[in-house]
Amino acid sequence: EAGPLEAELARRGIAVFSNASSHRMDPGVPLLVPEVNGPALTSRRSGPLLVTNPNCSTAGLVLPLAPLWDRLRPTEVFVATYQALSGAGYPGVPALSVVDNVLPFIPEEEEKMAAEASKILGFRPGNGPGQSRVLAHCVRVPSREGHLEAVTLKVRRPLPAREIVQAWESFHPLEDGRASGGLPTAPEQPVTYLPE
């Protein structure tokens, strides 16, 4: 368990950037997807620096939603994930469980996606006025690598498809960092629309 060690290192003044889940939902710890909520680093309170990244499926969900969120103001986000075996980590899924099979449930994955998306995108979870809900269904599939997400939104403000594509095409949140040379591996276009 990385959590206690991460907290101790941060307490000693060592900056900790973690891929572990231990502190993702802690109130004072940024849950960072730089293209989506990069300012969370500068707006955080003073004190030990501990930053986490979200679950891989959450990162894949919030990135294309970010340039649309304020325009569409979704009330519900329905997401079905089809996650490769590589996402199970080591030791992964027992081989015989996935041979020619789909595992229809990944423990705690659906709850994590809902909670993490809320924290990253800054919405209040629920189904009341001004609130949004993430409803996830997560499945493990017999593919070695790669995850797929099918996302449907229930929105307060519908937009024509061309405006949605335009929002994705004009989404360059890390442009300043790329221009200064501080983010050399950041993609120029973080969301790509393929009209297939």
Catalytic residues: 56, 147
Cβ-proximal residues to 77 (8 Å cutoff; 6+ apart), any chain: 61, 65, 117, 132, 133, 134, 135, 151, 152, 153, 154
CB 193 within 8 A of CB 168: yes
Q: How far apart are CA 130 and CA 125, in angstroms?
A: 9
CB 14 within 8 A of CB 51: no
CB 157 within 8 A of CB 100: no
Helix (H) or strand (E) holding 80: strand 74-83
